[in-house]
A and B are shown apart, each in its own frame.
Chain A
């Protein structure tokens, strides 16, 4: 895999910043949705779509493409926006989020936008689907990588752990899971609502190759994904420590921004702050 040159990192940072501005604008326009997680995961999705994934936006059903499952579907503004910037559909369409007749449903629905890999929203189901894809790929001779993005909160769903066990049993080395460890959920801090403790430890005890990195350091994240790809003994997980609301100081690490959107003033303030990154 290509090493991330300084130039490339600069380019990725620039794209991520533009994506964050679009996310704020689309959520303001939508009037409802989830802000903190989308901004916190922007760097991860940017790296995946602009450096890691084998994909072709001009041919979304290309058989050889890697698969990316977004399990925590409520963060879909970041998926939609990143895919639009990657060239899957016009950026103008982002402003239709959550509106009647839009392809951009409040939570992703394949019937409306058939080139996403799965519908999601109800938590604790994405990993199992990714495991199913990885098993199918293993039967067909391991020709793809299957990536799954999970929130930390959905590790409170027992079904997530059913999938964790099966992935180890089937030794799915084509499966790479990225956990958005932002430590917030709707009702508060994850460690208060339901202590998840050390997720890396937990995955290791289930037989996985586990790493923990910053979700905002492109170089570190890229390295971790590279190590996961060359690990051929079983499934890999990367716990990425992220800052919910990343990029807008006032919103960072505040769980109240999990499920709310900015009003006009707040959106202007945020876009103004993000725009300064170009200075």
Chain B
């Protein structure tokens, strides 16, 4: 059942739950952040509307800088603005930022430890029809290996809105991973949010869970659908929403592993180097348990609807169910 201490959306299991993209939620949050803090500035590399920073640009034209199709410049210019006291948010597609400009992000932003916030929109297979060249499946890995960087992948539009407001107040360089497509609203305005804090969004009605699922981003919806389905087979699941991938909420991850003894991780990203790898690094050193990684298996994407692609690359609800059933066989009780 949904963990109602978090005041989640009770209509999430409806046939057609309310949907909105995380990029839209973040764009709205950015306007809120800009209203309360005049130091917030936004830079964009020719993708103003599709990254939803147009909302900020229309409201605060004097604090919006259009740099053209130049992602390397986008990162370094923002670093210079941060050095003068601004809090720059830079917007592009995840494929190009941090994809194209990784070294500028490392050297000018993270090595200088400047509070630049990197918005990587259109991340994951969910970009759909644009095809593999535009589907960033490596961005979590790229971002989380850089010292000083915070990495956040919001679960839904409402959480994304809170992330925008929260990271405008922090001093750390931060990567925020957003998706293009409309995805179910899991949280509500009342759901608490804190950077670095994972949340159990689905728990058994009674007793301990048999399997722990750790998910990041909108794919968490598929994880809770899987959990609900598995309940019918009397397999009890806890789903941990790991929005902040770095710094990692080790306590929550270890506590879950101690309870369930097996873990399944879910992400719309390469299984190599992503959120699941971060979880594995944590557990290997603290409380080793078998882990099943639901993610892309060392492949590039292709054109299709997000649903077709999730099925093909085995990151959909039935793939998560299958992963849970398989890992249960490895469980040493």
Binding site for B on A (CB under 8 A): 67, 69, 109-111, 117-119, 121-122, 124-125, 128-137, 139-140, 158-159, 162-163, 165-166, 169-170
| Structural contact, A122 and B76, CB atoms closer than 8 A | no
In this complex, how many residues of chain B approach chain A with their Cβ under 8 Å: the count is: 29
| Structural contact, B73 and A139, CB atoms closer than 8 A | no
Q: Which of B66-107 contact A (CB under 8 A)?
A: 67-68, 70, 72-73, 75-86, 88, 103-104, 107
Cβ 8 A contact of B67, one of A134, A136, A137, A166: A166
| Structural contact, A136 and B84, CB atoms closer than 8 A | yes
Shortest distance in angstroms between A169's beta carbon and chain B's nearest beta carbon?
8
| Structural contact, B68 and A163, CB atoms closer than 8 A | no
| Structural contact, B72 and A132, CB atoms closer than 8 A | no
Residues of B contacting A139 in the complex (Cβ-Cβ under 8 angstroms)? 41, 62-63, 86
- The reply to whether the CB of B108 lies closer than 8 angstroms to some CB of chain A is yes
Contacts between chains A and B (CB distance < 8 A), count: 102
With A136-B86, A162-B73 as known contacts, state yes or no: A130 contacts B80, CB within 8 Å. yes
Known: A119-B107, A129-B77. 6 other contacts (CB 8 A): A129-B79, A132-B84, A135-B77, A136-B80, A162-B67, A166-B73
21 A-B pairs with CB atoms under 8 Å apart are: A67-B84, A111-B111, A118-B108, A118-B112, A119-B107, A121-B107, A125-B72, A125-B104, A125-B107, A129-B77, A131-B80, A132-B79, A132-B83, A133-B80, A135-B65, A136-B41, A136-B81, A136-B85, A140-B84, A158-B72, A166-B67
Secondary structure dominating the interface of B: helix
User: What separation, in Å, do the CA atoms of A111 and B75 have in the docked complex?
Assistant: 19
Shortest distance in angstroms between A109's beta carbon and chain B's nearest beta carbon?
7
Residues of B contacting A135 in the complex (Cβ-Cβ under 8 angstroms)? 65, 77, 80-81
Cβ 8 A contact of B83, one of A121, A133, A158, A159: A133
User: What separation, in Å, do the CA atoms of A110 and B63 have in the docked complex?
Assistant: 27
Shortest distance in angstroms between B179's beta carbon and chain A's nearest beta carbon?
27
- The reply to whether the CB of B48 lies closer than 8 angstroms to some CB of chain A is no
Residues of A contacting B85 in the complex (Cβ-Cβ under 8 angstroms)? 136
- The reply to whether the CB of B191 lies closer than 8 angstroms to some CB of chain A is no
- Closest chain A residue, CB of each to CB of B82: A132
- Closest chain B residue, CB of each to CB of A157: B72
| Structural contact, A125 and B84, CB atoms closer than 8 A | no
